[in-house]
Amino acid sequence: MDTIQRTTYDKNKLIPKILHLGFGAFHRAHQALFADQLARISDSDWGYAEVNLIGGEELIELLKKQDLQYCVLEKGNGSNTAKIINSVCEALHAKVEGVDAVLEKMAEPQIAIVSLTVTEKGYCTDLATGKLDQNNPLILKDLANPQQPTSAIGYIVEALRRRKVRNLAPFTVMSCDNVMENGHIAKSAVLGLAYQIDPELAQWIEQNVTFPCTMVDRIVPAATDETLQEIADILGYYDPCAIACEEFKQWVIEDNFVAGRPRWELVGAELVKDVRPFEQMKLRMLNGSHSFLAYLGYLGGYQHISDTMQDPHYRQAALKLMLNEQAPTLSMPDGIDLPRYADLLIERFTNPSLKHRTWQIAMDGSQKLPPRMLESVHYHLSNQHNFSLLTLGIAAWMRYVSGVDEQQQPIEVKDPLSEKFDAIYQKCGLHVRVVEELLAIDSIFPSSLRDNAYFVSEVKRAYQTLLDLGAKQAVSRYLQLN
């Protein structure tokens, strides 16, 4: 059964107090929805100014044409709820309205929070050190012309500079990306760039700006023609900005805001002192198993995560990965039931109404692998525990980035390091010797792993198993080892 939840509040009461960088699928189905739901049940006046910096011009223009509202379709097993979201007050694109228009909007006094969903690579940091990557092409441009920035980090630094010069209060910088300790990453990047541009500005930012960590969770597949048509059939009109997602949503937020915040707790967000345990739980148990299923699923011919769940070996392997190799690495507050959480994840992955593509989840693996899998490997090596499924997942990523699937069809590998992967495979071919070449990429693999003979041999064994047996049989084989 399908239901439609229309707007029940006067949108004129909303003020764009939050400026969000990255008006993508996840943000539309998560943070913007929280603001809308809060406005429905309270006197909240917190609205959004939405900004895209690179790409997404058409989406912003389409949003404007439909009065800045769009639909989120929450899909359950057997019932769907279409929610009309009205929390967006303004929408801008740096290439349409111009860089200065965006910066001036960020510098407006009522902007209390600048939030981000720009993916891991949008922070322009070196994953190995957590520091700003000063050789990043966007950062090089920002250093050359800081008042006409290119990167999200550059925009934040320049906007804060303008506020400082004008004696305006700073805003909170809130990362909502699926990155471990995302607030610390954002702070490191912003301060790293600010110190290069103006040390006095950097000191002002360090003393006055807060960077709360957050943990966000909701499965939001990329929009397809099929899902947009499904939403149109429910609404009775076509909404090109609509997005479909699961019913489940979670938001854990470090309560550290320099200029105030919405009362998100009224609509289910958890405001805490320390987000890190929840981040680790999600990144390792949910995202780690998601990546495991994405690489092995794609190689095995499964287009969607829900398809992998129909294979009993994949389903069992994902659950064992969560419980046997990820959960033991976590230190959670009292009352958190990890076996129950794992069961819930399997249930969410199985939802047949969500078409979450394995290819989509497989993107940017070089950025995702360290927090999702490699940190757990460190734990197991230190404690001499079995981590064979993690090893298989890492090897599957290595096999995936070859750019050729098991039927010799090309894989469109979306990753910042894809050219490096291509060069390695051109040199080595589809052969186990690529393992050491890939392990030598120090932005992904620390020396403590690539110098560990046991780890290297186990990854080689898993990679060779994938070459010999293929993904499906490799999953079956590795279940016996766990």
Domain match, 243 and 201 both: yes
Does the pTM exceed 0.85? no
State the residue range of the domain holding 107.
2-272
Name residues whose C-beta falls within 8 Å of residue 65's C-beta, 6 or more positions apart in sequence: none
Give the pLDDT of residue 334: 86
Domain match, 318 and 375 both: yes
Domain match, 146 and 252 both: yes
In Å, what is the CA distance from 263 to each residue of 250, 363, 408, 437?
A: 15, 34, 52, 49
Q: What is the mean pLDDT of residues 87-115?
A: 98
User: For 139-164, how does the pLDDT look when each residue is reduced to its tens digit (9 = 90+)?
Assistant: 999 999 999 999 999 999 999 999 99
Structural domains of the chain, count: 2
Domain end position, chosen among 244, 272, 300: 272
Domain match, 61 and 189 both: yes
Domain match, 293 and 246 both: no
**pLDDT mean across residues, the chain:** 96
Q: What is the mean pLDDT of residues 211-220?
A: 95
Domain match, 267 and 178 both: yes
Q: What is the mean pLDDT of residues 216-240?
A: 94
Domain match, 281 and 210 both: no
Domain match, 352 and 252 both: no
Give the pLDDT of residue 180: 83
Sign of dihedral through CA atoms 93, 95, 100, 101? negative
* pLDDT band with cut points at 50, 70 and 90 for residue 333: confident
Backbone angles phi, psi at 101, to 5 degrees: -60, -40
Question: Which of 91, 90, 2, 58 has the alpha carbon at shortest distance from 240?
Answer: 58
> Token pair of 31, please?
């943070």
Q: What is the mean pLDDT of residues 180-185?
A: 92
Residue 480 above 80 pLDDT? yes
Domain match, 103 and 158 both: yes
Domain end position, chosen among 256, 272, 288: 272
Give the pLDDT of residue 446: 93
Question: What is the percent of the chain with per-residue pLDDT over 90, rounded to a whole number?
Answer: 93
Contact between 350 and 279 under an 8 Å Cβ cutoff? The reply is no
Give the pLDDT of residue 127: 67
Give the pLDDT of residue 101: 98
User: For 28-38, how does the pLDDT look when each residue is reduced to its tens digit (9 = 90+)?
Assistant: 999 999 999 99
Domain match, 175 and 292 both: no
User: For 403-446, how does the pLDDT look when each residue is reduced to its tens digit (9 = 90+)?
Assistant: 999 999 999 999 999 999 999 999 999 999 999 999 999 999 99
Domain match, 205 and 340 both: no
Domain end position, chosen among 239, 272, 305: 272
Residue 115 above 70 pLDDT? yes
Better-predicted residue by pLDDT, 179 or 46: 46
In Å, what is the CA distance from 151 to each residue of 103, 140, 367?
A: 12, 10, 17
User: For 231-273, how does the pLDDT look when each residue is reduced to its tens digit (9 = 90+)?
Assistant: 999 999 999 999 999 999 999 999 999 999 999 999 999 999 9
Domain match, 393 and 359 both: yes
Name residues whose C-beta falls within 8 Å of residue 363's C-beta, 6 or more positions apart in sequence: 414, 415
Q: What is the mean pLDDT of residues 49-77?
A: 96
Q: In CATH, what number is assigned to the domain containing residue 425? A: 1.10.1040.10
H-only helix segments in 173-311? 182-197, 199-208, 225-235, 276-281, 288-299, 305-308
